[in-house]
């Protein structure tokens, strides 16, 4: 058992020595990771199960196994890739950089203006950069998934220990949580920061509830917040409110659900009142400009809850074949967690007194109220997962059962199946999430040279660092335009492109950036035919006004200035 942890970690590190990343296609990292990686994952899971069923094993070993799982899942891309993964993480770096340049709110920020309304995460990072003298957050941003998940371990343990003293249940629930958290909302982003704070607030509340398993000095004392602890919880709520628009709503929904039992109200209602007050004040003042513009859309969304729920289940008919399989596995894993949690609610009556079932269903009102750009279903799953994971553990590892070893080892195949499902969802899109140094260099070339007012044109958003100086440039993503424009681009690439370039001058030229990750995104999602990029390159090579200014095996940049009407030199 004790040898399982170091051996599995050694095999994992050995498996990363030579991974053919350029061979990634439909299934991302799944199709290029060597067999040794999967042996390491299976051995790590087996070692955890053996440690879980042995009462003599110190909890430090269980901690080591869980941290090993976090490292294997979330540090693998960081160790394999030469630079930060995922385009949205690069956007967030650009926002921090812009806020540092402007000393706060960023003018002319266009679609990224939402970050001016909820700047907490970005300002915190800006403060850290000033204090440390670092030039950019890119160095530590790459380690955010592993670091954020490691930080989340403490709130999870404290939450589960507040409802049970059974060590197997606590650690089993932790393992299930990490094995089923396939959503990928753990990158360098405000929602990652806000979710960690959300879980901390829930821990502070659950450890004070009358249903808590923790010993109380005076059971006759009426439940209430200890001096200072409520103030600390409100400070955390304030940090959530200023950092992310969705998480305060999830927190309000959770506190409303937890206020339903009368025995919880003395604790839940004061925190609920503070959360509602802080959210309303912030939305009515700092975030007012964003809220007022989108208020009509919010109200319309309230009238169509069925569409909001279904928005995350969009058709994948045009996606690559492997992505159809990924979608099926993702949905199957999520459905399995929900079904097992519901079964636990029925057959494990004691779990109903813990408050965790209320926390599991709390995201449902928010899910029905807004689609959140088609992502609300996934966010609801994420916020429900900590409680649902415990319910699943209560079903698979019932408290007080004899023959602990036999029962615990019997769930090993289930743990493997859950972990296998996570690999599909978490690693399946890495062909588009990974960036090469050439792609980073291409974006840097453009942002270093593009004069203010220039247009920067791409097929998709998958270009690392192209949002640098976003307040000075106009970004155009051809795959996300009107369907008629997209159809014209597919049928006549040059005509579809130049429709967005007219009027480009020497003082304000246009830059067209084509790259490997964009091609992969178009292929995986089916947004554009696989040959769109190549056809554009061929057309621009001989068309007037286009000049090749950067070329790499993974990225190409053309500069465009509208030719004069007579066809002469501009």
Kindly state whether residue 415 falls inside one of the protein's structural domains.
Answer: yes
pLDDT score for 143 = 97
Residues 121 and 209 occupy one common structural domain: no
Helix axes 167-180, 59-70, angle to 10 degrees: 0
Give residue-wise pLDDT tens across range 193-246.
999 999 999 999 999 998 777 766 555 455 688 888 999 999 999 999 999 999
Kindly state whether residue 566 falls inside one of the protein's structural domains.
Answer: no
- Predicted TM-score (pTM) of the model is 0.93
Average pLDDT over residues 164-193: 95
Kindly state whether residue 568 falls inside one of the protein's structural domains.
Answer: no
pLDDT score for 398 = 83
Residues 35 and 115 occupy one common structural domain: no
Last residue of a domain, one of 95, 116, 141: 141
Kindly state whether residue 565 falls inside one of the protein's structural domains.
Answer: no
Residues 150 and 79 occupy one common structural domain: yes
pLDDT score for 223 = 60
Last residue of a domain, one of 384, 410, 431: 431
Residues 356 and 470 occupy one common structural domain: no
Q: Cα separation of 320 and 390, whole Å?
A: 35
Q: Cα separation of 469 and 106, whole Å?
A: 10
pLDDT grade, residue 406 (50/70/90)?
confident
For 457, the 3-state DSSP assignment is strand
C-alpha dihedral (357, 360, 366, 369), degrees to nearest 10? -70
More confident residue, 299 or 388: 388
In the predicted structure, residue 106 carries a pLDDT above the cut 60 = yes
Measured from the Cβ of residue 196, the count of other Cβ atoms closer than 10 Å reads: 18
Residues 386 and 288 occupy one common structural domain: yes
Return phi, psi of residue 549, to 5°.
-115, -15
Residues 137 and 155 occupy one common structural domain: no
Using the 8-state DSSP alphabet, how is residue 508 labeled? Answer: S
Average pLDDT, the chain: 90
Residues 331 and 235 occupy one common structural domain: yes
Give residue-wise pLDDT tens across range 456-467.
999 999 999 999
Residues 276 and 336 occupy one common structural domain: yes
Residue 224 domain boundaries: 4-86+145-431
In the predicted structure, residue 519 carries a pLDDT above the cut 60 = yes
Kindly state whether residue 39 falls inside one of the protein's structural domains.
Answer: yes
Residues 72 and 174 occupy one common structural domain: yes
For 327, the 3-state DSSP assignment is helix
Kindly state whether residue 36 falls inside one of the protein's structural domains.
Answer: yes
pLDDT score for 366 = 87
Kindly state whether residue 211 falls inside one of the protein's structural domains.
Answer: yes
Q: Cα separation of 450 and 444, whole Å?
A: 10
Nearest to 194 by CA among 120, 131, 117: 120
pLDDT grade, residue 341 (50/70/90)?
very high
Residues 387 and 494 occupy one common structural domain: no
pLDDT score for 110 = 87
| Six-digit token string for 152 | 């989340």
How many structural domains comprise the chain? Answer: 3
Residues 74 and 202 occupy one common structural domain: yes
Residues 6 or more apart whose Cβ sits within 8 Å of residue 467: 90, 91, 94, 95, 112, 475
Residues 328 and 426 occupy one common structural domain: yes
Q: Cα separation of 496 and 533, whole Å?
A: 12
Nearest to 68 by CA among 366, 313, 419: 419
Last residue of a domain, one of 373, 400, 431: 431
Give residue-wise pLDDT tens across range 411-428.
999 999 999 999 999 999
Kindly state whether residue 569 falls inside one of the protein's structural domains.
Answer: no
């Amino acid at each position: 058992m004790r040898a399982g942890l170091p051996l599995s970690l050694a095999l994992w590190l050995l498996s990363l020595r030579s991974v053919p990343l350029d061979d990634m296609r439909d299934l991302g990292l799944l199709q290029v990771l060597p067999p040794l990686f999967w042996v390491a994952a299976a051995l790590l899971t087996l070692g955890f199960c053996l440690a879980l069923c042995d009462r003599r094993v110190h909890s430090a070993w269980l901690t080591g196994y869980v941290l090993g799982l976090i490292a294997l899942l979330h540090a693998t891309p960081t160790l394999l890739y030469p630079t930060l993964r995922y385009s949205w993480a690069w956007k967030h770096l650009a926002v921090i950089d812009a806020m540092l340049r402007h000393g706060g709110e960023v003018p002319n920020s266009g679609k990224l203006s939402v970050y001016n309304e909820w700047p907490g995460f970005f300002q915190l990072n800006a403060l850290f950069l000033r204090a440390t003298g670092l030039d950019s957050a890119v160095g530590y941003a790459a380690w955010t998934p592993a670091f954020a998940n490691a930080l989340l371990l403490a709130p999870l343990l404290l939450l589960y220990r507040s409802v049970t003293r059974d060590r197997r249940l606590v650690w089993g629930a932790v393992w299930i949580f990490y094995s089923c958290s396939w959503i990928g909302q753990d990158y360098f982003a405000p929602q990652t920061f806000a979710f960690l704070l959300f879980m901390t607030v829930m821990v502070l509340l659950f450890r004070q509830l009358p249903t808590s398993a923790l010993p109380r000095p005076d059971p006759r004392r009426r439940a209430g917040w200890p001096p200072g602890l409520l103030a600390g919880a409100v400070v955390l709520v304030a940090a959530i409110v200023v950092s992310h628009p969705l998480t305060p709503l999830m927190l309000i929904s959770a506190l409303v659900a937890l206020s339903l039992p009368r025995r919880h109200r003395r604790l839940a209602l004061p925190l609920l009142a503070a959360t509602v007050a802080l959210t309303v004040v912030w939305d009515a003042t700092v975030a007012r400009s964003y809220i007022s513009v989108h208020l009509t859309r919010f109200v319309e969304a309230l009238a169509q809850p069925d569409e909001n729920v279904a928005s995350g289940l969009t058709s994948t008919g045009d996606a690559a074949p492997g992505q159809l399989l990924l979608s099926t596995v993702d949905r199957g894993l999520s459905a399995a967690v929900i079904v097992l949690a519901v079964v636990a609610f029925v057959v494990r009556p004691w779990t109903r007194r813990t408050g965790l079932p209320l926390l599991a269903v709390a995201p449902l009102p928010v899910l029905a109220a807004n689609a959140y750009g088609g992502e609300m279903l996934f966010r609801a799953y994420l916020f429900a997962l900590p409680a649902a994971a415990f319910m699943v553990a209560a079903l698979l590892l019932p408290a007080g059962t004899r023959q602990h070893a036999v029962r615990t080892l019997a769930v090993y195949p289930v743990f493997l199946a859950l972990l296998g499902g996570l690999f599909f969802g978490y690693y399946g899109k890495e062909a588009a999430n990974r960036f090469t140094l050439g792609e980073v260099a291409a974006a840097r070339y453009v942002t270093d040279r593009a004069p203010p007012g220039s247009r920067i044109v791409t097929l998709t958003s998958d270009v690392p660092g192209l949002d640098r100086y976003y307040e000075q440039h106009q970004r155009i993503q051809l795959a996300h335009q009107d369907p008629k424009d997209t159809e014209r681009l597919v049928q006549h690439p040059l005509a579809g492109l130049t429709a967005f370039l007219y009027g480009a001058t020497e003082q304000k030229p246009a830059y067209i950036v084509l790259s490997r990750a964009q091609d992969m995104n178009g292929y995986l999602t089916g947004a554009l035919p696989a040959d769109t990029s190549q056809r554009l390159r061929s057309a621009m090579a001989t068309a007037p006004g286009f000049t090749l200014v950067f070329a790499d095996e993974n990225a190409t940049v053309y500069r465009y200035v509208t030719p004069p009407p007579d066809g002469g030199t501009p």
